[in-house]
Structure 1
Amino acid sequence: MKILWLDDEIDLLKPHIMFLEDQGMKVIGIDHPLKALEIAKSEDFDVILIDYKMPQISGIEFAREIKKLHPNVPLVLITMVQDKEVMDEAYSIDVFDYLVKPVQPSQILAVLRKLEKDKIKNRAETRRILNYYNAINSLGNDWKDWLEKGRLLFYWMVESPEDELLKEELKTKNQDFATWVMRKYPELLNTPEVPFIFKVFKNHVFPLLKNGERVTLIVFDNFRFDQALELSKAIPSGYNVEIHPIFSVLPTATQFARNSLFSGHTPYDTERRNPGWTRDNLHEKELLEQNLIENGFKNLPHVIKKINSLDAFKQEIFDAGLPLEIYVINFFDMIFHLREAESPLRGLIENAEDYVKLCKFLLESSNFLEKLHTPNIIITTDHGWVKGEKPVVIQGGMEATEGLRFKFGDSLKALEGKPIELMDLKKFGIPQIARMLFLAKGYDFFVYKSDPGKYKKRYMGGLFHGGLSIEEMIIPLIRLKRRLS
């Protein structure tokens, strides 16, 4: 480690310098700030130690000049007194640490060891980030590759949510994903192997029931893959855990995706068989009954419960003693939508990270995982969500839908921005509610031309679903199997 040490009484610190050199460090001691600046212009240092009080300029002034030359070099300020104003000023220019005189060599060594640990940690994080980036970009362009890309992006999101490379990668990959989905979606709907949400019962629930095993299905409304990863950390040790990425359906809105889950069919076929039922999410029980009958479980004892509040969630015992138990957890989505209204939650949930943290806290505080005793537990959702960052001004569509990421209408027109425009809705497994459908892609959201400024201000940074993005469409399916004791 190479150290620059600036102190107008540097000669008195020779024993300290010798101690550090005995520890294998190279130390250059300077007694004048201008000399130190000249050296810093031509040489790189791992850390710079700065005396706060010098006759020429203050240590803070010197630190500011150094930051102009080397913005990322760690600075350690050495002061005579532990003054709050000095500390605040030091941290305002991103000083790594500070020490109060008289300084012992061991104190300096401790700070340097801490710095070395941080560097090792940062290097490890950089390697991990690059590993994610390289793994994602080595994958191909079929449905398995896209599910794996989504899975890796969500793991990256959990580990480094503020990483700038991740944010850029999500934007780029969402553009590619939208293009791929528009080209391949009709074919994917008719490919038996592709794991869509409407195959959850067929692929995961019914095989267990046929073997005479009990199953509990938990459906969280509006629950992203990264939230599922956070939830998985709290799963009791008595279960084997599998986490799979699957596809939701378009539009990624509750009345289409959840009805598709329970019916076992695309939204188009669900609407064709039950006209009007895809306009809301009030028919899960009836759709499930049809699905059970079609698959040979006409007389199967079962229960389906909707849980619409946190109190009800905490009080639910999650054990009805039946072969099939289904619990639909709605209150996350209610929190999600209340955040957009004029409510105290607007201050509590300022951004996407706050929403994820709040949901995690509510799940952990409820201890609901400890209440689950069924041998087989499946946890999934109907769709994910995104943060709205870019308004797309449109005309029409108010007569059909209120969603900010999807709009049905007979005379839709984009005035600013480029939404996905669908006319042949049947081809995409979507009911022909109107002549056409607009889907927002990436992080877009729709505003009307009547007062775009008002809507932009109100909805910018909001959390939405219904459109086409990796975060909305690649959703989690967690399988828990109780271990034999």
Structure 2
Amino acid sequence: MNDIKILWVDDEIELLKPHILFLEKKNYTVNTCQSGTEAVEEVKVNNFDIVFLDENMPGLSGLETLSEIKSLKPTLPVVMITKSEEENIMEEAIGAKIADYLIKPVNPNQILLSLKKNLDHSRLISEKTTSNYQQEFRKIAMDLTMVNSYEEWADLYRKLIYWEIELEDIEDTGMTEILESQKTEANTQFGKFIEKNYAKWFNGEDAPVMSHTLFKDLIAKEINKKQPTLLVVIDNLRYDQWKTFEGTVTNYYKKITEAPYFSILPTATQYARNAIFSGLMPSEMERLHPKLWKNDTEEGGKNLHEADFLEAQIRRLGLDIKWEYHKISSLKLGKQLAQNFKSQKNNDLTVVVYNFVDMLSHSKTEMEVVKELASNDKAYRSLTQSWFKNSPLLDIIQQAQQLGFKLIITTDHGTINVKNPSKVIGDRDTSLNLRYKTGRSLSYNDKEVYGVRNPKEIHLPTINMSSSFIFAKEDLFFAYPNNYNHYVSYYKNTYQHGGISLEEIIIPYVVLSPK
């Protein structure tokens, strides 16, 4: 049974009796009136699902009536019906956000199709999406049992993100729950894969592009004297967050390459981002640049020397380029760079580190408002999209397009919504991060972490002789036994990074050309 109410407005409504009977047989309720003034009154007092509106009526015209209806109920779909194919009338109607446009004489099937298109659209899309995912679900489940290389993991993760975003707006929560369980299973298997293979990647085995090889292997090859390049490193950007604002970027740029790369461990800014700019693993940074590198236990900022690291790497690679580095950690700094961006056009490379996403995820634990706004991955994506569309970064990208810059967008690591605590005990010098710990005499649950007793194996600094590193897997976060309950309730369901998950490790690297 249809509970759909239609208002049909036409000064010759009696001629449409056969159409109305046809719709009533299909269980639609049709109210009629013969003037724009009547229609406006009807819309004021009744809740209609859709309006069919004749354009050419005496008194209040169709376009005038449309304007009145939209001011009363902006979301009510209005289908304009007219004898005229005059372009200006069509343009005015479309500009006023009509739902559809039909030319007289209309036949009943056209009316029915318009109803289906406008009222059943979301349901039909939802059913199709659900059906497609159900078919894909079996393939993903099979892939999960067989995936055994970093390329296959990158493909599988992108497939999961694709379906997560596709299923976002459908009403079938059952499908979303199934996908969530697949993501959880994927992260369990991915944790085992990293534990088994990570150390081997530093011993000459086939390895993915990682933080410390990103600049040399990918970015440097894009820089040339003929065209300036803008490299934007958005701190803490997950792959799914990139996908939410990709459409906005591609209004100005066309994509040349999109290739996920792997963050090093820990998936934390001081390690991963310094590795990008230095082209070195943390133990090498400590050895070669002792004045620039700071360990977890040392006082002071850990990411204050990115430009120095980059300068050393550019020199080491023998690149003869003019470059500048900018770090944006506030709205004010973003606006300043946007205002002065034209001055960058003479550089071969302009590097912009944009800290917004990191501030958002960190402030989430501190501010109840942000906690409300980013309560789950869907909300987190939405918040990122809203930020990007209103940020100085979009202004910078638009200017870069007009000035002919090549654009590279990437990040240092992702982040994961942590849900379950894992108990850890360490001395007072143990590092503070919730997803990894380094220190002496760490006591932890072996099954819940990737433990590295000799940090040199994975090219991490040894703070003292008996220091080890542990990395949380899946959606775990470390909690100390003292004050345990308060700690757990405070950090549960917040976004953290430093550990091992698809979300933290497999991250976007995108090269774009101006349109």
Aligned to 1:390: 420
240, 254, 277: which one aligns with 2:293: 277
Aligned pair in 2 of structure 1 residues 307, 238: CA closer, same or farther (>3 Å)?
Answer: closer
Q: Is the 8 A contact 1:20 1:109 kept in 2?
A: no
Q: Is the 8 A contact 1:395 1:415 kept in 2?
A: no
Aligned to 1:325: 350
286, 291, 305: which one aligns with 2:313: 291
Q: How many Å apart are 1:120 and its aligned residue? A: 2.8
Distance 2:207 2:448 in 1: 32
State the AA in 2 paired with 1:169.
Answer: Q
| 1:183 aligns to 2:213 (yes or no) | no
3-state SS in 2 of match to 1:377: strand
| Structure 2: gaps (5+ residues) | 4-20, 30-44, 48-108, 296-301
Bigger Cα displacement from structure 2, 107-116 vs 418-427: 107-116
Deviations 1:399-451 (A, max 9, x none): 13111111111111126972222112222232223511121111001111111
3-state SS in 2 of match to 1:223: coil
| 1:174 aligns to 2:177 (yes or no) | no
Aligned to 2:131: 127
| 1:410 aligns to 2:440 (yes or no) | yes
Q: Is the 8 A contact 2:424 2:445 kept in 1?
A: yes
Distance 1:446 1:203 in 2: 35
Distance 1:325 1:173 in 2: 37
132, 152, 160: which one aligns with 1:153: 160
State the AA in 2 paired with 1:246.
Answer: Y
Counterparts of 1:372-451 in structure 2 under 5 Å? 372-373=400-401, 374-396=404-426, 398-414=428-444, 418-433=448-463, 435-451=467-483
State the AA in 1 paired with 2:497.
Answer: H
Deviations 1:214-233 (A, max 9, x none): 22110011111011111210
Aligned to 1:302: 323
Deviations 1:130-159 (A, max 9, x none): 354345445431111111112212222222
459, 470, 480: which one aligns with 2:502: 470
Aligned to 2:275: 260
Q: Is the 8 A contact 1:270 1:278 kept in 2?
A: no
Aligned pair in 2 of structure 1 residues 110, 221: CA closer, same or farther (>3 Å)?
Answer: closer
Structure 1 stretches (4+) deviating beyond 6 angstroms?
A: 18-22, 106-115
Aligned pair in 2 of structure 1 residues 255, 115: CA closer, same or farther (>3 Å)?
Answer: same
Q: How many Å apart are 1:347 and its aligned residue? A: 4.1
Distance 2:513 2:117 in 1: 45
Distance 1:110 1:158 in 2: 27
Distance 1:157 1:192 in 2: 30
State the AA in 2 paired with 1:414.
Answer: Y
Aligned to 1:229: 243
Distance 1:397 1:294 in 2: 39
Q: Is the 8 A contact 1:221 1:383 kept in 2?
A: yes
Aligned pair in 2 of structure 1 residues 226, 4: CA closer, same or farther (>3 Å)?
Answer: closer
Q: Is the 8 A contact 1:259 1:278 kept in 2?
A: no
| Structure 1: gaps (5+ residues) | 6-17, 26-48, 50-80, 84-105
469, 492, 495: which one aligns with 1:460: 492
Aligned to 1:479: 511
TM-score (norm 2): 0.69
Bigger Cα displacement from structure 2, 127-136 vs 307-316: 127-136
Distance 1:338 1:231 in 2: 21
Counterparts of 1:310-321 in structure 2 under 5 Å? 310-317=331-338, 318-319=341-342, 320-321=344-345
Aligned to 1:363: 388
Deviations 1:170-224 (A, max 9, x none): 1000011010111111222334662112222112222233565422110011111
Q: Is the 8 A contact 2:254 2:513 kept in 1?
A: yes
Q: Is the 8 A contact 2:411 2:508 kept in 1?
A: yes
Q: Is the 8 A contact 2:456 2:462 kept in 1?
A: yes
TM-score (norm 1): 0.73
Q: Is the 8 A contact 2:423 2:444 kept in 1?
A: yes
Aligned to 1:209: 223
Q: Is the 8 A contact 1:132 1:156 kept in 2?
A: no
Q: Is the 8 A contact 1:243 1:478 kept in 2?
A: yes
Aligned pair in 2 of structure 1 residues 109, 209: CA closer, same or farther (>3 Å)?
Answer: closer
Q: Cα RMSD (Å) of the superposition?
A: 3.4
Q: How many Å apart are 1:285 and its aligned residue? A: 1.0
Distance 1:351 1:237 in 2: 28
Counterparts of 1:27-46 in structure 2 under 5 Å? none
Distance 1:313 1:129 in 2: 40
Aligned to 2:299: none
Counterparts of 1:102-121 in structure 2 under 5 Å? 117-121=121-125
State the AA in 1 paired with 2:321.
Answer: L
Q: How many Å apart are 1:264 and its aligned residue? A: 1.0
State the AA in 1 paired with 2:241.
Answer: Q
Distance 2:382 2:134 in 1: 26
